[in-house]
Amino acid sequence: MWKDYWFAGATRSYWVLSTTLMLAYVLAMLLDVHLDSGASTLFRVLAALLPAVLIIGFVLLEFRRVRNTDELRQRMELEAGMLTLAVAVPVLTALGLLDDAGLLEVPLLISVPVLMGIYLTAQAWAHRRYGCTT
């Protein structure tokens, strides 16, 4: 099953928590984007920081999932994470510098989808490298 292949160590509670966190993240982003400037400063700060707190929760959930796997899967996840870091930092830095130079307008919110795309590609590479079929 694809869930066992890509999400080894995922339990039912993992799926419930990850779904809840992702829905809360989408709602928090919608709140942040559509919040008018008439709201209090404290409320705007809390609304702006809420998505970051939810991302931290998702990262901690992923750490727990990876810890519940065998050593090979942990190594694959580590290599995928390191490859993501090695590719994403220069790519996001280049995009930021192009934006700073006025050559390309890049919103900061694009960094999360870029990171996720690179991470999924790195995971596919790690699966292929170690010949995992399950």
The answer to whether the CB of 10 falls within 8 A of the CB of 3 is yes
Q: How far apart are CA 67 and CA 61, in angstroms?
A: 10
Cα separation, 86 vs 37, whole angstroms:
38
Which pTM value belongs to this model? 0.71
Residue 31 tokens read as: 């709140």
The tens-digit pLDDT sequence of the chain (134 residues) is 445 556 677 778 888 998 999 999 989 988 887 777 777 888 888 888 998 899 999 989 989 988 888 898 899 989 999 999 999 999 989 988 998 898 988 887 788 888 889 988 998 888 888 877 55
What does the alpha-carbon distance between residue 77 and residue 65 come to, in Å, rounded to a whole number? 11
Identify the residue whose tokens are 């590719």: 87
